[in-house]
Amino acid sequence: MDKLITIERHINDTQKQYPHATGTFSNMLQDIALAAKLISLETNRAGLVDILGMTSTHNTSGERQQKLDMFADNVIFQMNDHTGRVAAMVSEEHEDLIEIPVEYDTGNYVLLYDPLDGSSNIDVNVSIGTIFAIHRKFTKGEKGTIEDVLQEGKRLVASGYVIYGSSTMMVYTTGQGVHGFTLDQGVGEFVLSHPDIRIPDDPAYYSANHGSEIEWTEGVRHFTRWLQGRGDDAGPKLKQRYIGSLVADVHRNLLKGGVFYYPGTLQDPGKPYGKIRLLYEAQAMAYIISQAGGYSSDGVGDILNIRPHTLHQRSPVFMGNRDLVKKAEDFIRAHDAEWIAAYKDYRNRELIL
Ligand code: AHM
Ligand code: MG
């Protein structure tokens, strides 16, 4: 039998390379892995118990929230609120900063998460995911603040995702490559199955919602034609795959090579930023992609360089093989001056505290 390496062991072994590390950060990753197991269990049960269906509350983006989202959100919060490791949290499902209850100690990190991404896929039994990111708290004082969570993606100390698919996998980085673990349902452990993931040089797929094509800018349309191998300057002629779960779409392109994009548009004046949330989705996935040798852009520049101005900020997203994403930037630069101006206006807004 090959050596069996559990996620706990992998995290601990990695930590040994830092003799001064206190273990706090490692324990936090293990708390997230445990939360992921609980969510996975409930996700698998979702078809059997009466957990499907909508609740009456709405999340902050005005979309209907499903019960499993709330379950996942609670699990992650409760796993992290009392450990003394976390100073504050933010979740896609909460409008404001989530403070640590006064009866518990606070720690040196802040946790950003999307508890259940791709929730429209839940009741049709299609892959969904959890996304998380961790920043070091840098402000003084006991409590974590909005400034602590509104940091650039390049300052993340860890990020990762869990995909609830044909099997459950957790993929994470702490800045030393990207490692993937598959949940062995029998023993209840995440086991190292994909060490040191690198995005393949030879891309296979592109992923975008063609149903929205009517809203895309000229640059994005040209980019898409190029990916399809059309026109004079023909590109790689990739196959198209789209699930509508960011985690699943990016995961596929991470393992097989390719590009995922959810562009900004000019369709809705004043909203040139697309759909994906910067703090709960884009930054975390961009850090993973960069650690696997790829690149993520908002169409103008590196997503990891964006300084967030508000908790529920959105960002256009192009992520995957570097040369493909760079090509998207080229097309956008050549064709989309109006969009670039509108988007930069949004991206460069002053910090909202
Ligand atoms: P959610 O957080 O409400 O689930 O929405 C985010 C999801 C992403 O996972 C996915 O990439 C995108 O929305 C799909 O959007 P669309 O249905 O417009 O293609
Ligand atoms: Mg989401």
Each residue's pLDDT tens digit, 92-108: 999 999 999 999 999 99
Cβ–ligand 1 distance for 293 under 6 Å, the answer no
The ligand placed nearest to the CA atom of residue 122 is 1
Share of the chain above pLDDT 90, in %: 80
Report how far residue 276's alpha carbon sits from residue 278's, in angstroms, rounded to the nearest whole number: 6
Question: Of ligand 1's atoms, which has the minimum distance to the CA of residue 121?
Answer: 4
Q: What is the pLDDT of residue 48?
A: 64
In this model, does residue 347 exceed pLDDT 80? yes
Name which residue leads in pLDDT, 199 or 350. 199
Q: What is the pLDDT of residue 83?
A: 95
Which domains are delineated in the chain?
7-194 (3.30.540.10), 205-347 (3.40.190.80)
- β-pair partners for 206: 240, 259
Q: What is the pLDDT of residue 242?
A: 97
CB 7 within 8 A of CB 190: yes
Q: For the residues 158-173, what does the mean pLDDT come to? A: 96
What pTM did the predictor assign?
Answer: 0.94
Report how far residue 158's alpha carbon sits from residue 29's, in angstroms, rounded to the nearest whole number: 9
Cβ–ligand 1 distance for 319 under 6 Å, the answer no
Q: For the residues 201-228, what does the mean pLDDT come to? A: 96
Report how far residue 256's alpha carbon sits from residue 203's, in angstroms, rounded to the nearest whole number: 7
Our measurement of the distance from residue 82's CA atom to the centroid of its chain's CA atoms, rounded to an integer in Å, reads: 24
Report how far residue 195's alpha carbon sits from residue 203's, in angstroms, rounded to the nearest whole number: 20
Report how far residue 151's alpha carbon sits from residue 130's, in angstroms, rounded to the nearest whole number: 20
Cβ–ligand 1 distance for 91 under 6 Å, the answer no
CB 217 within 8 A of CB 335: yes
The ligand placed nearest to the CA atom of residue 128 is 1
Confidence of residue 352 (pLDDT cuts 50, 70, 90): confident
CB 106 within 8 A of CB 143: yes
Can you give the length of the chain in residues?
353
Report how far residue 123's alpha carbon sits from residue 66's, in angstroms, rounded to the nearest whole number: 10
- β-pair partners for 117: 129
User: How many Å is the Cα radius of gyration of the chain?
Assistant: 20
The helix or strand, by DSSP H or E, that contains position 51, with its residue range, turns out to be: none
Q: For the residues 54-69, what does the mean pLDDT come to? A: 61
Q: What is the pLDDT of residue 61?
A: 59
| Average of per-residue pLDDT values in the chain | 92
Confidence of residue 199 (pLDDT cuts 50, 70, 90): very high
Report how far residue 76's alpha carbon sits from residue 31's, in angstroms, rounded to the nearest whole number: 8
Residue 6: other Cβ atoms inside 10 A: 16
Residues with Cβ within 5 Å of ion ligand 2? Answer: 114, 117
- Residue 42 in 3-state DSSP? helix
- Residue nearest atom 5 of ligand 1, based on CA coordinates: 118
CA 158 to centroid of ligand 2, rounded, Å: 18
CA distance to 85, 196, 206, 290, per residue, from 177 (Å): 24, 6, 23, 9
pLDDT digits (tens, 9 = 90+) for 6-55: 999 999 888 887 777 778 888 999 999 999 999 999 888 876 655 555 55
Share of the chain above pLDDT 70, in %: 93
pLDDT digits (tens, 9 = 90+) for 99-151: 999 999 999 999 999 999 998 898 788 999 999 999 999 999 999 999 999 99
Q: What is the pLDDT of residue 62?
A: 53
Bridge pairing between strands 189-194 and 239-240 = unpaired
- β-pair partners for 261: 318
pLDDT digits (tens, 9 = 90+) for 244-299: 999 999 999 999 999 999 999 998 877 899 999 999 999 999 999 999 999 999 99
